[in-house]
Amino acid sequence: MATVMAGNALGGTYDDAKSAGTGSAQTALSRFGSQDGSNQNISQPLTSPTKLLQTVDGSQSFQANITSPSSAKFLEVFIQPAGTGDLQKVIVSQDLDTNGTFDYVYTLPRAVSGVCGNGYIACDPGTWNHCQYFKWTAGPDGKIADSATSITDLGGCYCINQSCGSNLVWANSAVILQDLGGGIVNAIHNGNSAFTITSVNYDLTTIDYFGRVTGNSTTASGSINSLASSPTVSTLSGYYTNWAGLTAGRDNAAIAQSTDPNSLYYLISNSGASTQASGKMSACTVKRNGAVQTTVRTINDSGTGQLCTDHLVYIKVHKVSDSEYQMQYVDTGPGGLGTAHSNCGDNPGGNGWHTIKDVILTPPDPNRLEKMMQANLTLSNISGPGCSSGSGSVDGIVNGFDTSLQTSVVCPSSGAQFPTYNWSYYIQIKEDQYGEGVDNQCATLENDPDCRLQNETVDGVQTMLNFNATGLTPLPSCRQFIGQVGTNTICRNWWQKKRSYVCGNQAYDFSAIGTRFGKVTTTVTDNTSSLDFQDKRLTAGGWSDATGSFALPGRDQSPTCEQACKTRKPKNDTQVTVSGDVTEMRNPATSYDFFYRVCDRNNVCPAGPGEEIVKDCQCINDFNEAATIIQTLRTAGKDTICTTGAKKPL
């Protein structure tokens, strides 16, 4: 809105400026100086698509509906704690069509022992035993529900019942309500991002969300340069499914406004308050960074050995465990596969397989996934009395290793033979190796004795609030890291801590201003046509005394009070008491509503329809009447029937 002033107001005489200022003020007061005027000329144009906003002088009008109307309660979450500390009742009420009436209610069928950012945990009341995990869900219609899930699919979880502390719910009801409500709203947005929240209110046991189904609002941004690049509603709601685009949107907005001296971004970032403040607040994070690196390693060895056989020899690679593989051979013998010869004293336990070489790998590590890419066993240069020379090999891949028996050598069946051989193996393993580090951006603040931790959230759980511990502790959570071998599921006590510290007392130094101000205000003299004062000036050499004076313009006579009038209007009173209708008890029978109204600039009382002027425009002082009414109301509220049996003073 623009105020139209006389063109010579800034460059003319004092009288010109006075006249222009008075005219502009009277014009503004005539349009916005009353409750009805503000409603008709500001509130309605900004919220109604059919009511146009006008400039102060009424010469121009335009549409400026800058908000979408809010419904009544869009969502209400009610909690009722039990003596065990669990939430024995959680009731979610929804207004799905945002018409101001709840039309869907979901009551959790179980008690809540722990709260998560996207669900909750239900255990045996008062304990952390037999816990079940549930995640908030909602469909396109917005109806909230929950579904069973695993702890790895939940985030920001913490315990609230008495197994983790006493009185946790009552001490942190605001935090718990916000976490429950936030998870529910997030599920609703996942089902339908058109639902939007416009306001949030909460008390000890209830949190209320006000909102509506998003529609495009009209704006006056075309005539306001600093708002011309504001995103549309559809663009903003699109960020919900394209959250990565927020970063680019934020950066583009900052770049656009950083060069605009009239933008709020420019004004705030270049103000003194942005670089110096009393009790400076600093925010930081402690983040656990994890990553997976995939490598390939090779294990190989070779040697010699001796067989005990009397017929056909077969070889294979046997997987004992994820970290142990055995190179084995078997003698068919006269009695068939796996029958040890009577002259071989190293019967391997009846299964006939003899271990040539035991290959033991590094034991399994929870931070590492392994996959054998290639395994090769070779027997060569097999020779001995009565045995034909030969060689054999087995190749394979883990999880499908080829254990087919391979003929290696033929020996006579008339007795045990002990041929010698050369053996070798070559194993290639691919590994996903998980590694992590902690990026502590709070280290400097932690070690600064002038800094105090004000707030902290750990994986979405509020652990510190306004310099006090909440008593809430996040539960361990798991994240998945994808490597070339597979998915690495890593669980930790925490992943990210967000903190805010208040450091030092970097207050503005107003002492010099205070010294000068104190001198001027205590020595100022009004001489009607001039204003004289004594002053103190701070120079490089210190303080020095000075005097000052400036001429004052002529003054108009100012009223001693605001001119007002008192009116009354007959009231139809139909109330009844045990003694009858009030009109029968009152003398005179007629009652009135009284109004006090500010007179207009022409000193005319703006009486409403049907109102009678009791006191015309003047300085009204009805303190005695007001005091009498207040005293009457006070005494009417006293216990006049003396239920205690003792008289009470008024």
What digits encode the pLDDT tens for the residues 18-75? Answer: 788 877 887 887 788 777 778 888 877 876 667 888 888 888 888 776 555 455 678 8
Q: What is the predicted pLDDT for the residue at 184?
A: 93
Residues 487/493/494/499 CA torsion (nearest 10 deg): 180
Q: What is the predicted pLDDT for the residue at 344?
A: 57
Pairwise CA distance, residues 253 & 231, whole Å: 10
- 125 CB-near residues (< 8 Å, 6+ apart): 82, 84, 86, 88, 111, 113, 161
Q: What single-letter DSSP state applies at residue 494?
A: -
Three-state DSSP class for residue 287: strand
Question: Average pLDDT in the 495-517 region?
Answer: 81
> Which of 17-21, 144-148, 326-330 shows the highest mean pLDDT?
144-148
Pairwise CA distance, residues 143 & 190, whole Å: 11
Least confident segment among 75-89, 563-577, 626-640? 626-640
Pairwise CA distance, residues 425 & 606, whole Å: 107
Q: pLDDT tens digits for 150-198?
A: 988 888 899 999 998 888 999 899 999 999 999 999 898 887 776 667 7
> Which of 28-32, 329-333, 477-481 shows the highest mean pLDDT?
477-481
Pairwise CA distance, residues 265 & 254, whole Å: 7
Q: What is the predicted pLDDT for the residue at 343?
A: 55
pLDDT of 330 above 90 = no
- 360 CB-near residues (< 8 Å, 6+ apart): 323, 324
Q: What is the predicted pLDDT for the residue at 3?
A: 41
Three-state DSSP class for residue 39: helix
* Residue the block writes with tokens 């902690």: 438
Q: What is the predicted pLDDT for the residue at 429?
A: 80
Task: Judge contact between 563 and 617, C-beta under 8 A.
Answer: yes
Q: What is the predicted pLDDT for the residue at 278?
A: 46
Name the H helices within 3-87. 14-32, 35-38, 44-47
pLDDT of 76 above 50 = yes
pLDDT of 404 above 50 = no
Three-state DSSP class for residue 100: coil
Long-range contacts of 149-152 (CB under 8 A, 24+ apart): 149/119, 151/121, 151/475, 151/477, 151/478, 152/477, 152/478, 152/480, 152/489, 152/491
Model-wide pTM > 0.85: no
Pairwise CA distance, residues 593 & 431, whole Å: 87
pLDDT of 394 above 80 = no
pLDDT of 532 above 80 = yes
Give the pair of three-digit tokens for residue 467.
Answer: 């310099």
Q: Which amino acid is at 505?
A: N
Question: Average pLDDT in the 473-501 region?
Answer: 89
Q: pLDDT tens digits for 296-311?
A: 888 888 888 777 666 6
> Which of 57-61, 363-367, 519-523 shows the highest mean pLDDT?
519-523
